Amino acid sequence: MTLSLGNNKYNRQNWEDSDFPILCPTCLGDNPYIRMMKDKYGKECSICERPFTTFRWCPGRGMRYKKTEICQTCAKMKNVCQTCVFDLEYGLPVAVRDHALGLKDDIPTGDFNKEHFHQNLGKELALQGDDLREAHSAPNAFLERISAGRKGPYYKRNLPHICSFWVKGECRRGEECPYRHEKPSDPDDPLSVQNIVDRFYGTKDPVADKLLRRAEEMPSMAPPEDKTITTLWCGGVTSALTETDLQEYFYQFGEVACINIVQKNSCAFVQFTKRESAEHAANKCYGRLDLKGVRLNVRWGKPQQSGAKHHADVEKTTPVPGLPGPLPNPGKVTQYDPSKRAKLAESVPKPMSEPIDLPTMGAMGAPRAPSEFAGPDKGGNSGFQKIHYPSQSKDRMGSGKYSHMAPPSQYNNANQGQKRPGQKRAASDWN
C-alpha cells in the first residue's frame, strides 16, 4: 500500500536524509551550472549499507553522470567527498592523509559491529552539529607538498567507463555509444584493482601506497646540517626564466646574495645572505614551484657548489699525452679605436668597450702541460714519445681508418721527417 519510499515510516530511524551532498569540486565538474537530481533513499551506502539520499548530476560535457556513493554520516566521519572518497581539503586518499596527520580510526568493519557503530554514529553526529572533523589549524606541510603535485582538477576521473562490449569487439552502438572505446588499463597494474570500502578505511589502497612511496623518495626538506649553506638549487630552469625573474620571486624571503643560472643543466642556484631566509624560502616552496609558467624543482643546494664550479658535471676523462696545454689567456685588450677600423665592413661587431683585465701568462709561445698530468712535467719533447692516439705515431698518416688504402710509399717517406705530433703544419707542407 505505501509504495513510496518516503511515506513508509516503519524502521526508518537508520535511514539518512539530507538536503545537499558533500562533494569535492573535481567531482562536480567544470561547469558552474549543474542540474542535480535528488533521490530520497535512492541507494544504500557502500560502507554502512544504510539507505541514504542520493544525488545525481552530470559533471560536464562528455562526462558520465556521477552520483553519491557513500552516505553523509560516513563522509563526515572521514571528512571525504561522497563520490570519490578523497579528502575534501587536499584531494588525497584517506590513507595518505591519515598517515600524514597521524590519525588512526578503529572503525569496526565486521557485520554487526559495523551496523551498531554506524547507528550510534549517526545520532552522535546529529548531536554535535556540523562538526566536520577538527579543522587542523596548521596546514600540514607534508600534505601540501603531495597535493601540490596536482596542478589542476583531475577531470579524467569523471570520464565514462570503458565499453566492455567494445573490448570484446561486440559493440553494436558504434558512434552513439556513450562509453569509452579505449583499451582498458593493464590488469597486472596494481592501480587497476581498487575497492571503495578499502579506500574508505585506508587499507589496501594502491593509489595511497604509490603516493606515500613517492613522498618517501623525495629528498627530505630538512635543512642541511651545515649551517653555512644558504643556497637553494632549482631544477627545470628554461631559457624563459631570467635571473631577474628568480630575484623578483626569491627576494620576498630575504636578501638574495647572488643568483646563478646554469643553462647547460637547466638549473639555478639562489644564494641568500641569511640562513633564515633560505630556510623560510625552503619551507614555502621546497619541492615544487611554478614561476612564470615554468615548473621548478626546488632543493637545498649541495655544499661547495653555489654555482661557481660545476666540476661534478664534467666527466673526468684521461688526458691525452702529447697535446699542448691550454692556450694562455690573451693579454690586455685595449680600448676600441674606431679610427683604425674605419675601413672594415659595418657588419663586423664591435668589441666590448671596457678593457678586460685578464691574468697574463708570460710567454705566449711555449705550450704548457696541463696540471693533471701525471707524467714528467718537462713539456716540450716528452710529449712526442707518448702515443695515445694511433694517429700520433710517426709512421702513419691520418687516423688509420683508411690505412689500407695507403698512398704509394714515395709520399709516405717524403713526409715522415716533417711529421711532428701536436705541431701545426706549415702552409708549405700541403701541396
Partner 1 sequence: MPKIRRTRKKAPEGYELIEETLNELTIKMKEAENESHEGKRKVESLWPVFKIHHQRSRYIFDLFYKRKAISRELYDWCMREGIADPNLIAKWKKQGYENLCCLRCIQTRDTNFGTTCVCRVPKSKLEEGKVVECVHCGCRGCCG
Cell output for 14: 537508520
Q: How far is the CB of 214 from partner 1 (least distance, A)?
A: 37
Q: How far is the CB of 38 from partner 1 (least distance, A)?
A: 10
Which range, of 171-179, 197-205, 221-229, 240-248, touches partner 1 by CB under 8 A?
A: 171-179
Partners of 44 in the β-ladder: 51
Site for partner 1 (CB under 8 A): how many residues? 5
Which range, of 170-178, 296-304, 312-320, 347-355, touches partner 1 by CB under 8 A?
A: 170-178
Among residues 111 and 175, whose Cβ is nearest to partner 1? Answer: 175
Among residues 177 and 212, whose Cβ is nearest to partner 1? Answer: 177
Name the strand (E) or helix (H) holding 56: strand 51-57
Nearest by Cα to 199 from 305, 286, 84: 84
Q: Render 233-282 in DSSP notation, one character per residue.
A: EEE---TT--HHHHHHHHGGGS-EEEEEEEGGGTEEEEEESSHHHHHHHH
Our finding on whether 168 is near partner 1 (CB under 8 A) is no
Among residues 132 and 177, whose Cβ is nearest to partner 1? Answer: 177
d(CA 218, CA 396): 55
Q: Taking CB under 8 A as the rule, which mask of x and - marks residues 16-55 in contact with partner 1?
A: -------------------x-x------------------
Among residues 6 and 178, whose Cβ is nearest to partner 1? Answer: 178
Task: Specify whether the CB–CB gap between 180 and 159 falls below 8 A.
Answer: yes
Our finding on whether 172 is near partner 1 (CB under 8 A) is yes
Q: How far is the CB of 294 from partner 1 (least distance, A)?
A: 33
Three-state secondary-structure class, residue 93 = strand
Kindly provide the b/e burial profile for residues 70-90, where b requires at least 16 CB atoms within 10 angstroms of the residue's own CB: bbbbbbbbbbbbbbbbbbbbb
Among residues 38 and 280, whose Cβ is nearest to partner 1? Answer: 38
Cα distance from N-terminal residue to C-terminal residue, the chain: 115
Our finding on whether 176 is near partner 1 (CB under 8 A) is yes
Our finding on whether 264 is near partner 1 (CB under 8 A) is no
Q: How far is the CB of 39 from partner 1 (least distance, A)?
A: 10
d(CA 269, CA 254): 15
Among residues 41 and 249, whose Cβ is nearest to partner 1? Answer: 41
d(CA 96, CA 98): 5
Alpha helices in 71-219 (DSSP H): 72-78, 94-101, 111-128, 141-148, 164-168, 196-201, 206-217
Q: How far is the CB of 177 from partner 1 (least distance, A)?
A: 9
Residue 305: alpha-carbon gap to chain centroid: 22
Touching partner 1, residues 295-354 (CB under 8 A): none
Our finding on whether 175 is near partner 1 (CB under 8 A) is yes
Which range, of 79-87, 168-176, 195-203, 395-403, touches partner 1 by CB under 8 A?
A: 168-176
Q: How far is the CB of 176 from partner 1 (least distance, A)?
A: 4
Touching partner 1, residues 66-85 (CB under 8 A): none
> How many Cα atoms within 13 Å fall on the side-chain side of residue 350?
11
Among residues 166 and 200, whose Cβ is nearest to partner 1? Answer: 166
By CB under 8 A, name the binding residues for partner 1. Answer: 35, 37, 172, 175-176
